[in-house]
Amino acid sequence: MPHSNRTITLDTPLLVQFRHRVTFTRGVFSVTNPTLRSVLDSPTRGTTTEPTTRRMVAFVDSNVLGAHPSLLGDIQKYMASATGKSGTSPTSDTSFPELTLIEAVPGGEQAKQSMSVVDRVVRVVDEHGIDRQSFVMVIGGGAVLDAVGFGASIAHRGVRLIRVPTTTLAQDDAGMAVKNGINLGSKKNFIGSFTLPHAVICDTNFLQSTPDWSWCGGFSEAVKIALLRDPELFNRIERDAAAIARRSMDAATPVIIRSAELHYRHIMSGGDPFETNSARPLDFGHWLAHRLEGMTNGALPHGQAVAIGVAIDTLYSECAGLMPTQEARRVIAVLRALDLPVTHPLLASLDGIVAGLTEFREHLGGRLTITLLRGIGDPVDVHSIDPATLGAAIALTSRGA
């Protein structure tokens, strides 16, 4: 056969093993806490016997810095003690990274509204000699984690990222994710990448300084995953909702950790960590949440948008005859008890809302797949949403369902 007419195909599965490390702790920057030290002490990959110089830069959510004035000093002290410089730790190790920069990042959704944080991270990685054995640490809410994480995933085609999530939502959901990204105009997370963090360290002490709206917002993701995966968790949230809304750490912490674990397990064992399928099983309520976030230009926080999305998709499930009324109303009552919204004035514009379905389908590709409920802990996928039934579900919330 003449050379030019031949077709040659090489087609082999590529199996690469990843490790996803998540730790819940308290006082991560207390010099006696070994969690961060053990993450940073991990041996350099490769065959060289020479210790390489490793560095770390840290980006901190500006609102976390504002609420924790001693944080910068605590991080510096921790790193100095871990490298033995302060003389407080005997574990001096030449391969332990040197902290060369701590910098504030504008907190909240603004971090994701342009390339500016991403640009800054890439530039810092370059200027501070952060190689692929070195570390970028990010401390903050889900938005700052997403923006800094994206920068770290593209500089050098990806450097090691240590996430320290500081909100309920970032600890019970976003921090577990193996993706990051920023928004393109009103399109949430349009620019981003799938990347595993080197480690995730959740310090529940940070949660105490979050604003009330952010505290409550994170529990919408816990309700969401309980409805999909764990009726026992739903019962616990239902029982403790008032205490959680009053910010009891004793009531909240087990819910946050269980929700994080369920999100984590889905990524690790769900068979689709990089979301190549058109079904997105954990995105219950999210088609509408993303639409409302876009329609409000980010003024409606993600947690509150998810609460509304969960409420409407639950009531849709009821109106479509899938879910018993009594169970659906328990969901609405729990969301309300958590001080979360279940409706929004923009829901009056049914056409605008329905357009969100097209956007969601375009994002996933393939056939529209929306997760609904047959009951608490009993999800079901459907492939179309009937606008009249959606209108009926929305009408129920405005009548105080």
Taking the least distance from each CB to ligand NAD, the nearer of 156 and 187 is 187
Which one of residues 113, 133, 134, 167 is an interface residue with ligand NAD (CB under 6 A)? 167
- Whole-angstrom CA distances from 54 to 83, 98, 135, 136, 306 are 11, 6, 8, 11, 40
Residue 146 near ligand NAD by CB under 6 A: yes
Query: How big is the site for ligand NAD, counted in residues (CB under 6 A)?
Result: 33
Whole-Å CA distances, 48 to 13, 51, 335: 30, 8, 55
| Residue pair 258/22 in contact by the 8 Å Cβ criterion | no
Determine whether 187 is exposed, middle or buried from the number of CB atoms within 10 Å of its CB (0-12, 13-18, 19+). Answer: middle
Residues in region 52-71 near ligand NAD by CB under 6 A: 61, 63-64, 67
Pairing of strands 55-61, 135-140: parallel
Query: Any contact of residue 303 with ligand NAD (CB under 6 A)?
Result: yes
Q: Is 159 helix (H, G, I), strand (E, B) or coil?
A: coil
Here's the x/- map for ligand NAD, 183-212, by CB under 6 A: it reads as -----xx----------------x--xxx-
In degrees rounded to 5, what are phi and psi of residue 337?
-65, -25
Q: Which is nearer to ligand NAD, 51 or 66 (CB)?
A: 66
Query: What's the closest the beta carbon of residue 142 comes to ligand NAD, in angstroms?
Result: 2
Q: Is there binding between residue 109 and ligand NAD (CB under 6 A)? A: yes
Q: Does 285 bind ligand NAD (CB under 6 A)?
A: no
Determine if 266 is a binding residue for ligand NAD (CB under 6 A): no
Q: Least distance from C-beta 391 to ligand NAD, angstroms?
A: 27
Helix and strand totals (H; E) in the chain: 14, 10
Q: Considering the rule CB under 6 A, would residue 112 count as an interface residue with ligand NAD?
A: yes
**What six digits make up the tokens of 360?**
């969601």
Is residue 275 involved in binding ligand NAD (CB under 6 A)? no
Contact flag: residue 280 with ligand NAD (CB under 6 A)? no
Q: From the CB of 210, what's the least distance to ligand NAD, in Å?
A: 4
CB neighbour burial string for 269-284, b if at least 16 within 10 angstroms, e if fewer: eeeebebeeeebbbbb
DSSP string over 298-327 = T-S-HHHHHHHHHHHHHHHHHHTTSS-HHH
Q: How far is the CB of 147 from ligand NAD (least distance, A)?
A: 9
Q: How far is CA 129 from the centre of its chain?
A: 28
Applying CB under 6 A, the residues found at the interface with ligand NAD are: 61, 63-64, 67, 107-109, 112, 140-144, 146, 166-167, 169-170, 173-174, 177, 179-180, 188-189, 206, 209-211, 214, 217, 302-303
